[in-house]
């Protein structure tokens, strides 16, 4: 059952939730009965953000919930309630201090999420009744976020390259899109050598999955997602703590798949190409070795300085292939570097763009949707950090400086200079439980990019 439902004007059985804060709490209490005010005093409720109080009527029946909020954070205001309030249907009272009730409802829905593939739900979440117009806007965003979280949370044994391909095929079937894939040595025959090199050591064959949808007369939009289903680091093996959560290294693919679903569901007037290079970066006798030189699809030779810098390798062939189709806009998502997390922390994905106006538009969309991004520069003097003594460039270098920037600069080499390009280095994960953001897989940047595309293409 969905935690967001349509509110009917004839429904008198839902329970009112009134949001308040310290500045408005006195006025809130004046609307209550003397018994309810006495109850709040005994309860010690003072309208602090993140707190709530259940208000009964004279017969002891729950009739209202007071929720302390930060009025400037509508998205986070209700996120902790669906799994803490008694199971029932609620609605937002008109008297509340939150003005953006749509964002508040979205936060409620995001907070109701629980990953239940391997265990039963702890309890059913409470439901929030909202206007039909708000439900129409929010439900696709909730479903897309759920898809990202589910894909990222699923362990690699159940979310390998073939499983990612199955997710794209299901999407294609739902929207009557064309899907094809290149698997194993077919990648070499089709000239995708770096995807093959990264994935060849695994017992599960690497692959490139392509989905195409839309009218030939519409502008071409290419969306790419890094699908490294598990990253051991390869022969440059990660330590145990660095490897523990590497099931999430396909978070870029999860974002790209979910965004493609939103685009097709909204019927944006674009000709969509979705590309998912899906691999495991494993260790075996066939593993890619440090020092190897690979001739990429674009004809650029790359020295493998570090086998743990594999994401940029699988992406570069996909970027080159997408660029051959001359898209009007090229977007890629990747859980690419720990350096981005060191620079910006877990909540701010690093945005790179080769055109200032593109970056400004996406950042503005992120601000409007409470899905923030932060731009980092494509500082081209740092290209020297990727120099190789025997190839056109290396996939990494000895310097630990500016790791997110040098990774983006590597990708930029595979994008034609005049082609509009956006790259998002996203964490795709919550380290801890927070209201609206349960621990585990997370969509970071998804709503921002969808809002940007809606504005750009008039959806």
Could you give the residue numbers annotated as active site? 238, 312
Nearest alpha carbon to residue 422 among 339, 345, 362, 338: 362
Backbone angles phi, psi at 417, to 5 degrees: -60, -40
Nearest alpha carbon to residue 320 among 215, 412, 199: 412
Q: Tell me how far apart the alpha carbons of residues 196 and 205 are, in angstroms, rounded to a whole number.
A: 9
Q: How far is CA 413 from the centre of its chain?
A: 25
Extract the runs of DSSP E, i.e. beta strands, from 100-248.
127-130, 178-183, 207-213, 220-225, 227-231
Contacts of 156 (CB under 8 A, 6+ apart): 229, 230, 247, 280
Contacts of 209 (CB under 8 A, 6+ apart): 164, 165, 168, 179, 180, 181, 227, 274, 275, 276, 278
Q: What is the largest CA-CA distance in the chain?
A: 83
Q: How far is CA 106 from the centre of its chain?
A: 15
Q: Tell me how far apart the alpha carbons of residues 132 and 138 are, in angstroms, rounded to a whole number.
A: 10
Nearest alpha carbon to residue 298 among 276, 312, 317: 317
- For residue 359, give the H/E element and its range: helix 356-368
Nearest alpha carbon to residue 210 among 251, 165, 242: 165
Nearest alpha carbon to residue 175 among 263, 253, 270, 256: 263
């Amino acid at each position: 059952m969905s935690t967001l439902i349509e509110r009917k004007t004839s429904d008198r059985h839902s329970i009112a939730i009134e949001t308040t804060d310290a500045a408005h709490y006195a006025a809130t209490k004046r609307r209550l009965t003397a018994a309810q005010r006495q109850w709040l005093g005994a309860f010690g409720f003072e309208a602090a953000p993140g707190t709530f109080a259940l208000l009964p009527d004279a017969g002891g029946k729950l009739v209202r919930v007071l929720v302390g909020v930060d009025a400037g954070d509508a998205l986070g205001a209700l996120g902790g309630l669906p799994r803490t309030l008694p199971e029932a249907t609620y609605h937002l009272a008109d008297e509340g201090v939150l003005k953006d009730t749509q964002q508040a409802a979205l936060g409620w829905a995001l907070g109701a999420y629980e990953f239940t593939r391997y265990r039963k739900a702890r309890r059913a979440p409470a439901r929030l009744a909202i206007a039909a117009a708000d439900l129409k806007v929010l439900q696709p965003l909730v479903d897309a976020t759920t898809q990202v979280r589910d894909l990222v949370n699923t362990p690699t044994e159940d979310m390998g390259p073939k499983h990612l391909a199955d997710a794209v095929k299901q999407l294609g079937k739902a929207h009557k899109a064309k899907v094809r894939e290149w698997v194993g040595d077919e990648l070499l025959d089709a000239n995708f050598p770096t995807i093959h090199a990264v994935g060849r050591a695994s017992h599960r064959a690497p692959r490139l999955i392509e989905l195409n949808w839309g009218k030939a007369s519409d502008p071409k939009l290419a969306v790419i997602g890094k699908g490294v289903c598990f990253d051991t680091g390869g022969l440059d093996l990660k330590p145990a703590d660095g490897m523990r959560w590497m099931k999430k290294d396909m978070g870029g693919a999860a974002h790209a798949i979910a965004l493609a679903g939103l685009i097709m569901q909204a019927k944006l007037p674009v000709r969509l190409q979705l590309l998912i290079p899906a691999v495991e970066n494993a260790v075996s006798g066939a593993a890619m070795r440090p020092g190897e030189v690979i001739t990429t699809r674009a004809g650029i030779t790359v020295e493998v300085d570090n086998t743990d810098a594999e994401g940029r390798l699988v992406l570069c062939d996909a970027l080159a292939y997408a660029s051959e189709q001359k898209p009007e806009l090229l977007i890629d998502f990747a859980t690419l570097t720990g350096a981005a997390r060191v620079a910006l922390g877990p909540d701010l994905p690093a945005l790179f763009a080769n055109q200032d106006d593109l970056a400004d538009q996406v950042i503005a969309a992120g601000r409007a949707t409470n899905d923030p991004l932060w731009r980092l520069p494509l500082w081209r003097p740092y290209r020297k950090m990727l120099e190789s003594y025997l190839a056109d460039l290396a996939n990494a270098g000895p310097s630990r400086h500016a790791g997110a920037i040098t990774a983006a600069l590597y990708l930029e080499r595979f994008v034609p200079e005049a082609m509009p390009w956006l790259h998002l280095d996203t964490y795709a994960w919550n380290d801890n439980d927070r209201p609206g953001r349960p621990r585990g897989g997370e969509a970071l940047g998804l709503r921002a990019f969808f809002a940007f595309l809606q504005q750009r293409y008039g959806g």
